[in-house]
Structure 1
Amino acid sequence: MKKLILGIAIVASAFVFGQKNDVNAKLQEANKAAMDAYNAKNYSAAAPKFVEVYNLLKTNGQDDKIYMYYAGLSYALANNTDESIKIYTDLVNSGFTGVQTTYTAKDKKSGQVMNLDKATWDLMKKNSDYSDFKTEQTPSVEPELYETLTTLLLNAKKSNEALAIIDKGLAKFPNNAKLKDAQGTAYFESGNTDKFIGTLKEQLAKNPNDATNWYNLGVMQSKNPATVEDAVASFKKAIEIKPDFDNAYQNLVYTVVGDDSKVVEQINALRKDKPDEATKLIDARRERFAKALPYAEGWYKAAPENLDALTALKEIYVVTKNMDKLKDLKAKEAELKAKAK
Structure 2
Amino acid sequence: MKKLILGIAIVASAFVFGQKGDVNAKLQETNKAAMDAYNAKNYTVAAPKFLEVYNLLKTSGQDDKIYMYYAGLSYALANNSDEAIKIYTDLINSGFTGVQTTYTAKEKKSGNVIPLDKTTWDLMKKNADYSDFKTEQTASVEPDLYETLTTLLMNAKKPNEALVIIEKGLAKFPNNAKLKEAQATAYYDSGNTEKFIGALKEQLAKNPTDATNWYNLGVMQSKNPATVEDAIASFKKAIEIKPDFDNAYQNLVYIVIGDDSKTVEQINATRKEKPEEATKLIDARKERFAKALPYAEAWYKAAPENLDALTALKETYIITKNIDKIKDLKAKEAELKAKAK
Give the TM interval when normalised to the shorter protein.
over 0.9
Q: Verify: 1:101 aligned to 2:101, yes or no.
A: yes
The farther-off stretch of 279-288 and 134-143 is 279-288
User: Residues 71-150 of structure 1 correspond to what in structure 2 (within 5 A)?
Assistant: 71-150=71-150
2:203 — aligned with what? 203
Write out per-residue CA displacement over residues 218-268 of structure 1, whole angstroms, 9 at most, x where no aligned residue: 000000010000000000000001111111111111111111122222222
Contact 2:18-2:24 at 8 Å conserved across structures: yes
Contact 1:15-1:28 at 8 Å conserved across structures: no
1:293 — aligned with what? 293
User: Residues 169-208 of structure 1 correspond to what in structure 2 (within 5 A)?
Assistant: 169-208=169-208
> Distance in 2 between the 1:180 and 1:18 partners?
44
> Distance in 2 between the 1:2 and 1:168 partners?
19
**Deviation at 1:116?**
1.1
2:57 — aligned with what? 57
> Distance in 1 between the 2:331 and 2:115 partners?
72
1:27 — aligned with what? 27
Task: Give the SS at the match of 1:115.
Answer: strand
Letter of the aligned partner of 1:187 in structure 2?
Y
Task: Give the SS at the match of 2:5.
Answer: coil
**Deviation at 1:15?**
4.0
> Distance in 1 between the 2:126 and 2:250 partners?
74
Mark the CA change 1:45 to 1:18 in structure 2 (over 3 Å): closer, same or farther. closer
**Deviation at 1:112?**
1.0
Contact 1:15-1:27 at 8 Å conserved across structures: no
Task: Give the SS at the match of 1:135.
Answer: strand
Task: Give the SS at the match of 2:143.
Answer: helix
> Distance in 1 between the 2:272 and 2:10 partners?
77
2:4 — aligned with what? 4
**Structure 2 length normalisation: TM-score?**
0.97
2:43 — aligned with what? 43
Q: Which runs of 5+ in 1 are unaligned?
A: none
1:247 — aligned with what? 247
1:167 — aligned with what? 167
> Distance in 1 between the 2:56 and 2:17 partners?
13
Task: Give the SS at the match of 1:127.
Answer: coil
The farther-off stretch of 9-18 and 248-257 is 9-18
Letter of the aligned partner of 1:16 in structure 2?
F
> Distance in 2 between the 1:263 and 1:235 partners?
24
Write out per-residue CA displacement over residues 84-119 of structure 1, whole angstroms, 9 at most, x where no aligned residue: 111101111111100111111111111111111111
Letter of the aligned partner of 2:276 in structure 1?
D
Task: Give the SS at the match of 2:12.
Answer: coil
Contact 1:15-1:24 at 8 Å conserved across structures: no
1:16 — aligned with what? 17
> Distance in 2 between the 1:267 and 1:31 partners?
77
> Distance in 2 between the 1:334 and 1:18 partners?
76
Write out per-residue CA displacement over residues 132-189 of structure 1, whole angstroms, 9 at most, x where no aligned residue: 1111111100001000101111111111111110110000000000000000001101
1:224 — aligned with what? 224
Letter of the aligned partner of 1:23 in structure 2?
V
**Deviation at 1:29?**
2.1
> Distance in 1 between the 2:89 and 2:19 partners?
32
Letter of the aligned partner of 2:165 in structure 1?
I
Aligned length: 340
Contact 2:2-2:154 at 8 Å conserved across structures: no
Task: Give the SS at the match of 2:132.
Answer: strand
Mark the CA change 1:159 to 1:18 in structure 2 (over 3 Å): closer, same or farther. closer
Contact 2:2-2:155 at 8 Å conserved across structures: no
**Deviation at 1:17?**
2.6
**Deviation at 1:82?**
0.8
2:309 — aligned with what? 309
